[in-house]
Structure 1
């Protein structure tokens, strides 16, 4: 099976030999790919919607992996029992929803070895949640696929909370500006976007516009720290 660049990056973060639980599996492509590659022994493909799950079932049957990939209708981690998976993968949804799934599924996450997360938005909220709930982010990657930037995060359970600087929550700690091409392009893109927003709002006189400018200027300073090498990724 051939995956998109985004899903290839996601699949690449799953540790070889781990049992996988793919939350929001959609078509079941990632579990199928990983089993086909011999990277994982088994997977549980889970989704809240019957339609995508039926398509996943069809694809799994097509590849003759019904003995290795289970399919479950589940709201987040609801139908996953503790100890059934080593890797929990959640991709293709917003950061707030990912955090809510992790919060509601804390029992199912007992004894897991790693989380692989790819939020489409609110990435800082995901990083903050992980840091505050005794998960250490050990690896990150970013890809550009179909006109959008996608971040992939790998985190493992740890003994204590992890402290991140504001710019690290926003941009991560493991991709360095100037070294990682896609990340560098993303930081430059964000820089241009913030400048444009600040310029446009500066033409308005409302209090809401002024408050928004303050926040955007703060974000711009974080961006500049990363571009100058004084913020995230200096380790």
Structure 2
């Protein structure tokens, strides 16, 4: 099966050999691809709507993978028991819905070895939540397809039972976001095992990195540079159109645009030679 560039990038983030749960599977393209390619022995394809799940089931039958891909009608992670999957793929849904799913089932999320997430909106809020909850970022990717930009990330949940603690609140964050990072020479698999303990080296994500992706900025991802330049041009054009206008609403909008430009330019500094 051939995948779109976006889905191919999502699938590439899944660790080979893992049991997969695809949340909001739609057509089950990712589970079919991973099983057909030998990247996964089995998968669970889940969707909240019967229509998409029926289509997914038809695609699974056409692929001859009925015995290896199980279909489940499920609202988010509701029908996934802890320990049934190693990797949860949640792709192609809005950030707020993704956050609702992650917050609703902390025990199941905490049992996973990794999650591959591709939010369609409010990506910065998703990153902030993950960092505040102690998720470890292993990889980030950004794909442009049909004129749209799709950020995605591979993260490891904390395995110390801290998920869903009431004292953690990403919305009320005041200080730079911190996460525990894995030293480069440490085996990534070690950090995914439940009860493995936390890595020793702290890292700090500032607001620019939360907005655009610290790992993307560090690798000077070419698609991110293109995105930042486009966003800069859009805001400059809007500001140019506001020249000569006044009033409280206009002033507030100008201030908002200038603040956004400041973060965009901080991001672009990573690409300076």
Q: What TM-score comes out, normalization by structure 2 length?
A: 0.80
Identify unmatched segments of 5+ residues in structure 2.
163-177, 180-203
| Secondary structure, aligned partner of 2:257 | helix
Which residue among 177, 184, 193 is the counterpart of 2:234? 193
**Range moving further from structure 2, 103-112 or 73-82:** 103-112
Identify unmatched segments of 5+ residues in structure 1.
none
Deviation of 1:87 after TM superposition, in Å, equals: 0.6
Q: Partner of 1:140 in structure 2?
A: 140
In the TM superposition, structure 1's runs of 4+ consecutive aligned residues that sit over 6 Å from their partners are none
The 8 Å contact of residues 177 and 184 in structure 1, kept in 2 or not, is answered as no
Deviation of 1:97 after TM superposition, in Å, equals: 1.2
2:211 matches 1:170: yes
Deviation of 1:224 after TM superposition, in Å, equals: 0.4
2:270 matches 1:229: yes
The 8 Å contact of residues 109 and 157 in structure 2, kept in 1 or not, is answered as no
* Distance in 2 of aligned mates of 1:39 and 1:70: 16
The 8 Å contact of residues 118 and 153 in structure 2, kept in 1 or not, is answered as yes
Aligned length: 231
Kindly provide the CA deviation profile for residues 79-112 of structure 1, in whole angstroms up to 9, marking residues without a partner as x. Answer: 1111111111111111111111101121221321
**Range moving further from structure 2, 106-115 or 198-207:** 198-207
Q: Partner of 2:23 in structure 1?
A: 23
Q: Partner of 1:99 in structure 2?
A: 99
Which residue among 261, 267, 273 is the counterpart of 1:220? 261
The 8 Å contact of residues 44 and 72 in structure 1, kept in 2 or not, is answered as yes
Q: Partner of 2:124 in structure 1?
A: 124
| Secondary structure, aligned partner of 2:140 | strand
Deviation of 1:147 after TM superposition, in Å, equals: 1.4
Q: Partner of 1:55 in structure 2?
A: 55
Deviation of 1:211 after TM superposition, in Å, equals: 2.0
Q: Partner of 1:209 in structure 2?
A: 250
Deviation of 1:230 after TM superposition, in Å, equals: 8.6
* Distance in 2 of aligned mates of 1:200 and 1:178: 35
**Range moving further from structure 2, 206-215 or 15-24:** 206-215
RMSD between aligned residues: 1.9
* Structure 1 residues 15 and 98, CA gap change in structure 2 (3 angstroms): same
**Range moving further from structure 2, 205-214 or 183-192:** 205-214
* Distance in 1 of aligned mates of 2:265 and 2:146: 27
**Range moving further from structure 2, 90-99 or 203-212:** 203-212
2:67 matches 1:67: yes
* Distance in 2 of aligned mates of 1:221 and 1:146: 28
